[in-house]
Every structure is written in C-alpha cells, then in structure tokens.
Amino acid sequence: MDATNIDALTRRWHDSAIVASPGAPMRSQARLPDSVAAVIISDQLANRRSAAPDFLREKLAIQDLAEVMSDHPEEILPRLVRTGMEICGAHSAGISIFEPEANQFRWYALAGKLSTFEGATTPRNFSPCGVCLDLAAPILMEHPERAYDWIGDARITIPEVLLVPLGVKSAAAIGTLWLISDAGHFNKEHARVTAELAAFGGMALRMIQSEQKLALAMQRQETLMREMSHRIKNLFSVADSMVRMTARNAETKEELAETLSGRLHALSEANGLIRRSFGDDVAAVANLGDLVACILRPHGVATSNFNGPPVAIGEQAADHLALVFHELATNAAKYGSLSRDKGGIDVTWSVDADRLEIDWTETGADAVAAPTSTGFGTKLVETTIERIGGRIHRTWTLGGLSVAISLPLGSLGR
C-alpha cells in the first residue's frame, strides 16, 4: 500500500460519505460522531506516568531547528518530525498540511513505518487531523482505524496517535504534527513537548510560505517588466516602419499627418485592449471581438453587426489585426459602404480546425468596381496578413467589398 492507493481509498470514501460543510468547526467532543468520540482518549494523558521535563534537551532541539531553518529551510519539516520522534519515543511520525482549495490534508516528511505514504492526501472532515484542528488542541486517539474506514482499508494499524495543531496562537493552524506509538505510550509531557515543536514548526512554515509568495511576486514582476520592455520595442519598431512607408506614399504633409494619425490610433486602441494573463500562459492577450468593435466604433458601426466565438489574441497579433481592420475601415469610409448613408459592415468569424476564418462584408453600397491599381493600404493589409501566416481574398459585389481572411490559430497567441 502506498500514497497513490490511500488517495484512491479516501476518494472512494468521499464519493459515498456525508460530511460536514468544508471547514465547518466542531469545537466540542460532544458534537463528534459516536464512532470518532469513542477512539479519543485524550483524558488519559494526564493520568499516565511521565518523566520529569528535560528542558535542556528541548532547548537544544529548538536551537538545532532554528539553525536548520536559517541554513537549510527545505530540511525543516523532516528535522522537526525526527526530533519529535526521538524525544517522544514514537515509531512513526509526520506532518499533515491543510490545503483549503481541495479541503484536504497532504502528508509531508513522514518517518518510520508510514514513510511510504509520503504525499498522500486525506479528507479534512473525516480524519484525525481534521478533529485536531476542529478541537484546536492536542488529542490522543487509540486505533482510529475503527472510526475511519480509509485507514483500515489501507491496512494501517495505529495503536495510538498523538496529534497537535501546527501553528501559533495568534493564527489559525495550518496542519498537524502527529506521532504514532504503541498503546499506552504517550503522556502529558509528550503532548507538551510536541506542542512546543508544533508551534515552532508552524512559525517556520509560515515564514517559508511568505518567502515563497514574495519570490513568486518578484518573479511575476520581473516577467512583467521584461514583457513590457519587449512590447515597447515592438511598438516602436512597428511605428517606425509605419512612418517610413506612409511618408513614401503620401503626396502632401496633410495626407501624411491624417493617414499616419489614423494608423497610430489603431495601434493605440489595440494595445489598450491588451491585458496580462499570469500562470502557465503569461502572454498579453486581447479578445478579437473587442478589437473589431474598438477599431470600427469611430465609424458608427453597430456591435450587433459583429458575430463570432471568443478568440484570444496575443500582443503582436492584436497590432497586426488592428492595422488590417483600420485599413479596411478607412477604405470603406472613403470609397465603400461607410461612404453611403445607409451603408454598413458585417464582421463574422469562426474557428475551423486549426484556423480562424474572418468574413468582412460591406453592405448598402452601390456597385463598386475593383480598383485598377493596388494602393499602399492594400499592400499593407496583404503584407500584414502574410506576416502572420494568413491568406486574404477580396470579392467585389453589387453591395460592396467582401473580404475573406484565413489565419492559423497558432499565430494568434504571439
């Protein structure tokens, strides 16, 4: 029997048992199920003979743990467990850390006969550790397998287990430190010493968790700074190329200013939609529908004319598509449907296998013939689409221009 098997046993129990709501407190033993209350023998701790306290040994043990925490924090849990076993004469021990998101405990730093169960998980509301946290005090149980089916099903025999909340008085416990030995072994001194060790362990774990959170925050901040730097460089590169190409094709400074202003505005709108997504995918993303609406809003095109599934697009793809939609909208405003009082534009998109299919349809325009020459705006659109591995096809109809754009989905995440 190993950790994987015990996980399966506890999951099977979850599927069939009725449990209290997650984290529901149970502060008195009278509220425990009879089967659980029957195995709790905490009152025997005070009645058993115990040796005189060895405060020097305890002091040296805490000093040793402090040194480990300072020099090798990753070893603090195993050292804490071994120290508890040695001082209390237990044959098995471990730490159970509560995972609120899954409402379960996970076993760490197991030593002794149960070491093979390292990493196993047990239910919060149907386990000795859960009772220990509910009662917020050290507890002693004898043969808990009589009350918890999953322990017996895992073929684990526990003559006696001493459990102590892992934490400090000013904060909620984050788990338990537990020791297992033969029947009649543990006494009040064992409980006191284990409580001292658990208090130190709780502080150590909170320090480790705080450092991990800080390190993660710093890592995310560094990632954000790198990506922002990369993004700014890309924007300057695109803007520089745009200025040079627009200048070569503009006949007057007024045309240059107007055309360049519109294209820069499209880039600005696209970048305004970019939002970060931390986790496995840390790319900046926008939504295709938002981008289309943003670019066409100044032209008075109703958002009801846009239809398609949610499609996330990355920073570079957003810049490219913003330029494409801006050029199409500008041409429609100059020569096509948007130059007519009753003209409009429908934009639909769909995902087919590994490609995004976009249909741009101008409506309400008079018959417009295909141009006899290719202007800079048209070349810009074609070059931009090709740059992200796509294809574009124009069809001139009685109602206006129809444009079909096909893009590989893989290129949209960049």
Q: How would you write the chain as a 3-class SS string?
A: CCHHHHHHHHHHHHHHCCCCCCCCCCCCHHHCCHHHHCCECCCHHHHCCCCCCCHHHHHHHHHHHHHHHHHCHHHHHHHHHHHHHHHHCCCEEEEEEEECCCCEEEEEEEEECCHHHCCCEEECCCCHHHHHHHHCCCEEEECHHHCCHHHHHCCCCCCEEEEEEECCCCCCCCEEEEEEECCCCCCHHHHHHHHHHHHHHHHHHHHHHHHHHHHHHHHHHHHHHHHHHHHHHHHHHHHHHHHHHHHHHCCCHHHHHHHHHHHHHHHHHHHHHCECCCCCCCCCEEEHHHHHHHHHHHHCCCHHHEECCCCEEEHHHHHHHHHHHHHHHHHHHHCCHHHCCCCEEEEEEEEECCEEEEEEEEECCCCCCCCCCCCHHHHHHHHHHHHCCCEEEEEEECCEEEEEEEEEHHHCCC
Among the listed residues 342, 343, 355, 361, the one whose alpha carbon sits nearest the alpha carbon of residue 391 = 355
Q: pTM of whole model > 0.85?
A: no
Q: Give the span between the Cα atoms of 240 and 233, in whole angstroms.
A: 10
Q: Give the span between the Cα atoms of 45 and 190, in whole angstroms.
A: 9
The reported pLDDT for the residue numbered 334 is: 74
Contact 336, 365 (CB under 8 A): yes
Say whether domain 3-214 belongs to CATH 3.30.420.40: no
Residue 270: which pLDDT band, with cuts at 50, 70 and 90? Answer: low
Residue type for 231, please? R
The reported pLDDT for the residue numbered 278 is: 45
Determine what percent of the chain is predicted with pLDDT higher than 90. Answer: 22
Q: At what angle do helices 253-273 and 188-249 cross, to 10 degrees?
A: 160
Contact 341, 301 (CB under 8 A): no
Determine what percent of the chain is predicted with pLDDT higher than 70. Answer: 72
Lowest mean pLDDT among 148-152, 165-169, 220-224, 390-394: 220-224
Pairwise pLDDT comparison (159 vs 231), residue with the higher score: 159
Q: How many other CB atoms are found less than 10 A from the CB of residue 52?
A: 6
Structure tokens at 230: 């990369």
Q: Write down the CATH number for the domain with range 250-411.
A: 3.30.565.10
The reported pLDDT for the residue numbered 279 is: 46
Domain layout of the chain by residue ranges: 3-214, 250-411
The reported pLDDT for the residue numbered 266 is: 63
The reported pLDDT for the residue numbered 19 is: 36
pLDDT digits (tens, 9 = 90+) for 369-410: 666 666 767 787 888 888 888 999 988 877 778 899 999 998
Residue 34, by phi and psi: left (phi above 0), alpha (psi -120 to 50) or beta?
A: alpha
Residue 24: which pLDDT band, with cuts at 50, 70 and 90? Answer: very low
The reported pLDDT for the residue numbered 255 is: 78
pLDDT at 265 over 80: no
Residues near 241 by beta carbon (within 8 Å), at least 6 away in sequence: none
pLDDT at 288 over 70: yes
Give me Rg for the CA atoms of the chain: 34
Highest mean pLDDT among 251-260, 321-330, 347-356: 347-356
Pairwise pLDDT comparison (299 vs 160), residue with the higher score: 160
pLDDT at 196 over 80: yes
pLDDT at 313 over 80: yes
The reported pLDDT for the residue numbered 214 is: 62
pLDDT at 2 over 60: no
Specify which residues 351 forms β-bridges with.
356
Pairwise pLDDT comparison (219 vs 327), residue with the higher score: 327
> For all residues of the chain together, what is the average pLDDT?
78
Residue 236: which pLDDT band, with cuts at 50, 70 and 90? Answer: low
Structure tokens at 110: 């197991």
pLDDT at 184 over 90: yes
Q: What's the angle, vertex CA 17, arms to CA 11 and CA 21, rounded to 5?
A: 95
